[in-house]
């Protein structure tokens, strides 16, 4: 049973398109995250939701819009994709409201912009 | 100054040796510290977490925390080629402790 699952695993698309990535966790965790890992492997927090409430919104272009329909799901929609959006996007979840508990990561979505 | 700093490596050790990975952090109020391992093309997986000053041991892994020096380390005893990966230090930080900041990672190679 996959604990944190993301779809799709790979996403290849052209500049200017709009795309979505979905994430679901079956661990019963309260908090979910989106991270971006660039080509230099630096893992950077983008958003965090606790029980559908946005609690972290880093300096991310407003082309990125997260949505959490319930505490087990966190989706990421990206408008007008740019070359610099190419990266691996990881979803993660943890217990509790603060991020002081270990996080469980999904397998990542590899986004390539042509 | 970066919020979480690690030596990017690569750190190369022979099989059976002790690998020592280091991390410093800037937020003196940080309370929770994590080590994740990431194999190439895979997602990060938790190795250890530590909340209190001192050492915490789990099998071949020991995490060490010194809050006064703002320093956390990971020791891997009897290193195996399968330990070859990137090790990410992560620190819970920020107002309210809602944010986890990751270091850039240290690449470890264990030579057979």
Query: How close does chain B come to A5, measured CA to CA in Å?
Result: 11
Q: Exposure pattern of A74-96 as b/e (b: 16+ CB <10 Å)? A: bbbebeebeeebbbbbbbbbbee
Give the pLDDT score at A55. Answer: 87
Q: Residue B24 in contact with residue B5, Cβ under 8 Å?
A: yes
Q: Which residues of B touch A (CB under 8 A)?
A: 31-32, 34, 38, 42-46, 49, 51, 86, 88, 90, 92, 96-102, 104-105
Q: Residue A13 in contact with residue A109, Cβ under 8 Å?
A: no
Share of chain B above pLDDT 90, in %: 82
pLDDT at A41 over 90: no
A55 touches chain B (CB under 8 A): yes
Give the pLDDT score at A56. Answer: 84
Give the pLDDT score at A1. Answer: 67
Which whole-number Å values give the CA distances from B110 to A34, A96, B45, B84, in the listed order?
31, 36, 19, 6
Of the partner residues A43, A56, A107, the one whose CB lies closest to the CB of residue B99: A56
The full DSSP string for A44-85 is EEEEEEETTEEEEE-S--TTEEEEEEETTEEEEEE-S--GGG
Give the pLDDT score at A4. Answer: 97
Residues of chain B with pLDDT under 50: none
Share of chain A above pLDDT 90, in %: 77
Instruction: Look at the block and give the residue holding tokens 């264990």.
Output: B110
Give the pLDDT score at A108. Answer: 97
Which is more confident, B52 or A39? B52
Q: Taking the CB of residue B99, how many other CB atoms lie within 10 A of it?
A: 20
Query: How close does chain B come to A15, measured CA to CA in Å?
Result: 24
């Amino acid at each position: 049973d996959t604990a944190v699952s993301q779809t799709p695993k790979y996403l290849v698309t052209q500049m200017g398109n709009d795309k979505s990535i979905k994430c679901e966790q079956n661990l019963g965790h309260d908090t979910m995250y989106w991270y971006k890992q660039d080509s230099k492997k630096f893992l950077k927090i983008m958003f965090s939701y606790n029980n559908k409430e946005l609690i972290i919104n880093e300096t991310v272009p407003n082309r990125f819009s997260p949505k959490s329909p319930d505490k087990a799901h966190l989706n990421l929609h990206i408008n007008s994709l740019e070359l610099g959006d190419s990266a691996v996007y990881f979803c993660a979840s943890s217990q509790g409201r603060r991020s002081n508990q270990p996080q469980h990561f999904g397998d990542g979505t590899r986004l390539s912009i042509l | 100054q970066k919020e979480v700093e690690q030596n990017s490596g690569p750190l190369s050790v022979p099989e059976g040796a002790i690998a020592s990975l280091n991390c410093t952090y800037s937020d003196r109020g940080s309370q929770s510290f994590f080590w994740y391992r990431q194999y190439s093309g895979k997602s990060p997986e938790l190795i250890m977490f530590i909340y209190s000053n001192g050492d915490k041991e789990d099998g071949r892994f020991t995490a060490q925390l010194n809050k006064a020096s703002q320093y956390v380390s990971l020791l891997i005893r009897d290193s195996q080629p399968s330990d070859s990966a990137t090790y990410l230090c992560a620190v819970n930080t920020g107002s309210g402790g809602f944010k986890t900041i990751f270091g850039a990672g240290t690449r470890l190679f264990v030579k057979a």
